[in-house]
Structure 1
C-alpha cells in the first residue's frame, strides 16, 4: 500500500515572504508555533483572567463611588465626613468642585479594553453623568460625577480599578519566547553549519580543490550525506585516474610503432608518397596528443592566484605568432585563483580556434556582480548555427560545414575548454559575435 505525502498548498504571495535558507526555515518551523502558542496563551489570560479581575475591581470601585455620590446627595453638609470615611476605608480622595461642569470629552487611553470595563461599571452604578481619566496620573484614576452643586471629583488608586500585575505575566511570556528562540537559534545554527561545510566541500571538489580534510559531523542524516559524498568523490577520482592511466598507456603503446614508422620514413628515399605518409603520421601524433590532453584534464594542478591579463597575453602571443590579429582588453589587477596551465590550455583552444576561422580575434575580461569573471573571445569567421552550439562541445565532434576546420582538428578543442571551465565551477557558452563570427563566453566564479 502506497502512502502519499500530504501536500500543503501555500499561496505564491506567501511563499515570496518565506525564508529560502534552511536555517531560516528551520527557525520559522520552531519559533513560529512557539510564538503563536505564547500569543494564544496571553490572549486567553488577558480575556479570561485579566478582564474578569478588572471587571470585578471596576464593579467594586463603581459601587464605592455610587455610595459616596448617594451619601452626598442625601446630606450635602456631611461631605467632609463622607470624604474622611472614603479616604480611611476605601482609599478614595473626594472633593467638591462647585459650579463646575464635566470636561467635554474623555482622553484617549492605551488601556481602552480596561476602560470599557470601568465605563460599564460606572454606567450600571451611577444615574448621574460622569467622566473619568486613566491617562493623566500614572498611579491614579480621576473620576468626576455631575451633582447639583457642581462636580464631585474622586481620585482612586489605579489598582482599585485595574489588575495591575498582568504585565508581569506578559513579560515572563515574552522572556520565555526569547529564551526558547535563542536556544533554537544555537541548536539550528550548529546543525546548519554541518550542511554548509558539506556544501563547501562539494563546491571545492567540483572546482578541483583538495577536500581531504573534510570530516562528516552533525546529525545522523547529515553524516550519512557527507559519507555518501566522500564515497562519490573517491569513485570519481578513481574513475579519472583509471581513464588517465588507460589513455596514457594507449598513447605510450601507440607512440612506439609511430616512432618506428617515422624512423623508417626518415630513412626511405624521398617521394610524394613518403611525404604523404609523413603527414599522416604527424596527424596521428597530433590526435594522440589531443586524446591524452582530454583524458588528463587538470590532474595534479592546484589552484593559484593568477593574473588573467598575463595569462591571456601569453595565449594571444602564441596566436599572433601563428599569424592571427589578436586584441586583448583586461584589467591588469584582476587576479583569480585558477589552475593556470589548465585554463591556459582552454583559452588557447578557444583563441586558436577563433584565429583559424577568422582574421580578427578580440579577447576581453570583465568582473561580474557576483564576484567572478567573464572572459569573452570573439572572431569574425563564419560562425556556427545557433541550433548546433551544444553539439560543438561534444568530444570528437567536427562541424566542418560551419567552421571549415583544418585537417589536424580532432574535435576536442571546445570539449577540453568546457571541461576545464566546469572544473573551475564555471562554464562556457556560445553566441553570435558582434564581429560577425562566433563568441565564446567563459564564466568563472570568484
Structure 2
C-alpha cells in the first residue's frame, strides 16, 4: 500500500512538471539552453560568495576590528584628553578611522543590523574576538561608513570606519557582469533558436494549408539540413498526392464521359421506338444510369484542385435552403449573419446541398442552422426521419454505400452524396459528424474553419 501511495505521489509530481513545461519547440529549446546556464551561474555565484567574497570580507573585518582594538587598548592605558587627541589623529592618518570620545554616552540597546548580512556576521565575530569591552555597531545607517561603538570606563569611544575598509564593495561588479553575460547569452540563444524554429513553423503552416486544400506557392525548403529534408519530403509527397488525385479525376471523368455516348444512343433508340410495352422500365434504368454518371463526375470534380476564395457561408446556406424549398421541402432555417470562410464556393454548395437533400429524402421536416465559435463554423442539418444506427455512422460516408436495405436502383441516389460531402469538408480543413437528432432522425454537423481575419 505504501509503494502504491509513493507511486501516485511520483506520478502526480510528474504530471505537474509536464503541465508547467513549455509545449512549443521554441520554449523547450530555450529551456534546454537557459536552464543549464542559469544553474551554472548560480553555482558560480555560490562559489564566489563562499570561497572568495566572504573570505575577503572576513579579512577586512578582522583588520578593522584589530585597529579598533589597538586604539581601545591604548586609550585604556592612558585615558587623558591629550593622549586621546594623539590617538585620534594617528587613527585617522594611519588607519582611516574617525574616533570620537563621548564620556556621557552609553551603548544603545539592540544592534542595527541585518541577520542575513555577511558583513554583520563577520564584523560581529571579529569584534567579539578582538575586544574585551562591550561593543555595538550599525552597518545600515550610513551608506559610506560603519558605526562602531565601544564602552570603556572613561566613556564611549565611537568609531566611523569607511565601508570599503570593512566590506568588499567590488563584488557587485562581478555579479553585474555575470548577470549581463547571462542576459547576453540568453539573447543570442533566443535569436538563434527563433531562426531555427521559423522554418519548422513555415513547414507546419504549409502542411496545414495543404490539408485545407490551399496551395502555398511561396513555400520552399529552408533551415537546418534535417528541416530541409523534411520540407523536401513534404513537397514530394504533395506532388505525389496531386498526381494521384489528377489521375483519379481524369479516370472517373473519362469513364463517365465514354459511357455517356452509348447511353445517349440508347435513349435516342428508345425514343424512336415510341410507346412500346415493356420499354418504360428500360427508360427508368437509363435515367438511373445517367444519375450514377452525374454522381461519378461530381465525385471527380470535388477532388480536382481549385483556387480558394472568401465565401459568405451565411448567404450560401440560405441559397441552398431556397433551392431545396423549390422542391416543396419543409425546412426551418436559423442562420447567423456575416460568417465567412476560405474555400471553393461551388464545392461547398454541393456539399451543403447533398446534406440537405439527404435530410429531405428521409424526413418530413428538416432543420438547418448555422453557428460559429472562436475559430470554426458549424452547419447543423437535422431531420425527423428514421435515422441510422450509431454503428453505421462511418459506413454512411463510404462511396457507393447505401444503408437502407429497402432501397434499390429505382431509388434516387447512388451512395455518393455523403462521401462527396465529407471529401469537400475535409479538403477545407473541416469534417462532417453524424449523430442522433433531437427531432428523432439524423443530425449532420458540417464543421468548417473560419476565414483568417485580414
TM-score range, shorter chain: over 0.9
Task: Give the deviation of 1:212 after TM superposition.
Answer: 2.5
Task: Give the deviation of 1:340 after TM superposition.
Answer: 0.6
Q: 1:359 and 2:396 equivalent?
A: no
Task: Give the deviation of 1:248 after TM superposition.
Answer: 0.8
Q: 1:44 and 2:47 equivalent?
A: yes
Q: 1:225 and 2:230 equivalent?
A: yes
> SS where residue 204 of structure 1 aligns?
helix
2:67 aligns with 64
Mapping 1:403-414, distance limit 5 Å = 407-414=411-418
Structure 1: state its 5+ residue gaps. Answer: 1-8
Contact 1:385 1:402 in 2 (8 A): no
Deviations 1:155-174 (A, max 9, x none): 10011111100000011111
Contact 2:253 2:296 in 1 (8 A): no
Determine the C-alpha separation between the residues in 2 that align with 1:275 and 1:142: 120
Determine the C-alpha separation between the residues in 2 that align with 1:138 and 1:376: 74
Which of 16, 19, 27 is 1:16 aligned to?
A: 19
2:274 aligns with 269
2:245 aligns with 240
TM-score of the pair, normalised by structure 2:
0.92
Contact 2:396 2:402 in 1 (8 A): yes
TM-score of the pair, normalised by structure 1:
0.94
Deviations 1:404-441 (A, max 9, x none): 99812222111111111110111111122222211111
Contact 1:384 1:403 in 2 (8 A): no
Contact 2:302 2:423 in 1 (8 A): yes
Which of 83, 91, 96 is 2:96 aligned to?
A: 91
Task: Give the deviation of 1:402 after TM superposition.
Answer: 9.8
Task: Give the deviation of 1:249 after TM superposition.
Answer: 0.9
Contact 1:58 1:118 in 2 (8 A): yes
Mapping 1:187-226, distance limit 5 Å = 187-226=192-231
Determine the C-alpha separation between the residues in 2 that align with 1:92 and 1:102: 19
Q: Describe the shift of the 1:110–1:250 C-alpha distance in structure 2 as closer, same or farther (beyond 3 A).
A: farther
Contact 2:400 2:415 in 1 (8 A): yes
> SS where residue 76 of structure 1 aligns?
coil
> SS where residue 407 of structure 1 aligns?
coil
Mapping 1:382-421, distance limit 5 Å = 382-400=386-404, 407-421=411-425
Q: Describe the shift of the 1:338–1:185 C-alpha distance in structure 2 as closer, same or farther (beyond 3 A).
A: same
2:265 aligns with 260
Task: Give the deviation of 1:258 after TM superposition.
Answer: 0.9
Determine the C-alpha separation between the residues in 1 that align with 2:244 and 2:74: 103
1:130 aligns with 135
Contact 1:131 1:145 in 2 (8 A): yes
Deviations 1:303-346 (A, max 9, x none): 11111121011110121112211222223322222211111111
Q: 1:334 and 2:339 equivalent?
A: yes
Determine the C-alpha separation between the residues in 2 that align with 1:75 and 1:438: 111
Deviations 1:251-274 (A, max 9, x none): 111111111111111112314521
- How large is the RMSD of aligned CA atoms in angstroms? 1.9
Contact 1:301 1:339 in 2 (8 A): yes
Task: Give the deviation of 1:59 after TM superposition.
Answer: 0.7
